[in-house]
Structure 1
């Protein structure tokens, strides 16, 4: 039985992940910035995906309350400032700080190194994109990796949550390649192994 996926955030990323989840046969719901909807969706979902801007995390966590307790909480955020600078250094990560804020959730860092337009297929130019997932809870991480594979990604276990530091800097580099260096959103990462 596939877990129900509750997506908090209905922008480009949230919408793309909703399409990908549904295409892969998951029951999924996405909600925008609407208090009652955030509460209901986070209570309903068995896996919660945070697809909100990094700056909105604290408010979103307050709105979800205890609905995240014991559940996989997938952090899709890119830890960048409003002017697209890296918001944290390399001695911690947004995902590690998120885990401190909600210690009873099972935080997994994933999907942040992929441009939104490719999230629903997990591919670009018919090539599977690598989905990296880092987290400390093996069962939660396995569920996220399985979701990624079923969407179409080449899903790779990126180790413990501490490795989110590198995924977040990789996400930042990805944004730099695509937009600052004008390579476009078809530039994606693929791990050859």
Structure 2
């Protein structure tokens, strides 16, 4: 099983951390407020500062706001080498025009696209632990990366959550996923009462394989 560090303590940290601990993975949590009460839904093997949380992990989930990602990487780049980096951050209005993906800025900060993957960007936290929320079928996790090894490393982690990985091509294609998120929030509020149990699905795959 893997040791996964989640940076951030919000809804996605709780959803992913709970799902992966249930699957037998060890979860370390990095926070800028180590002494705070983070009300985690799962038992983490470590909760503390960013640098300490990164020690000994195989994968790192960037579950912090997009504007904080660059600074985090620049401060902790030496602790990220060789790890799978899972960027789940969403830019929302910070990238006007949607000309580049948030994950492309992450790659610039890292200095490489090796072992970097954009994923979980259009998955509401509520659907992570309820795999049948999407009309009774496991939700899709859209994955974009330049590095095939990064995709291969992430796919079993997605399966361990009871979800399905959908390969969306190179890292730059994450810009299209980023753009879907704002509309998803609007539709969920308008048509589902902001339950956040909805999501996008690419359908017809079962009939074409």
Per the shorter chain, which TM-score range? 0.7 to 0.9
Give 5+ residue unaligned stretches, structure 2. Answer: 35-47
Partner of 1:156: 166
Partner of 2:97: 89
Q: How does 1:105-120 map to 2 (within 5 A)?
A: 106-120=115-129
Which among 14, 17, 37 is matched to residue 49 of structure 2? 37
* Number of positions where the alignment pairs a residue of Structure 1 with one of Structure 2: 187
Partner of 1:144: 154
TM-score (normalised: structure 1): 0.87
Give 5+ residue unaligned stretches, structure 1. Answer: none
Q: How does 1:10-159 map to 2 (within 5 A)?
A: 10-34=9-33, 37-80=49-92, 85=93, 87-104=95-112, 106-124=115-133, 126-159=136-169
For the residues of structure 1 that align with 2:117 and 2:81, how far apart are their CA atoms? 14
Q: Is the 8 A contact 2:70 2:105 kept in 1?
A: no
Relative distance call for 1:26 and 1:59 in structure 2 (3 A) is same
Deviation at 1:182, TM superposition (A): 5.1
Any idea what SS the aligned residue of 1:92 has? Answer: coil
For the residues of structure 2 that align with 1:94 and 1:108, how far apart are their CA atoms? 11
CA RMSD of aligned residues (A): 1.9
Any idea what SS the aligned residue of 1:40 has? Answer: helix
Q: Is the 8 A contact 2:16 2:128 kept in 1?
A: yes
Deviation at 1:86, TM superposition (A): 5.7
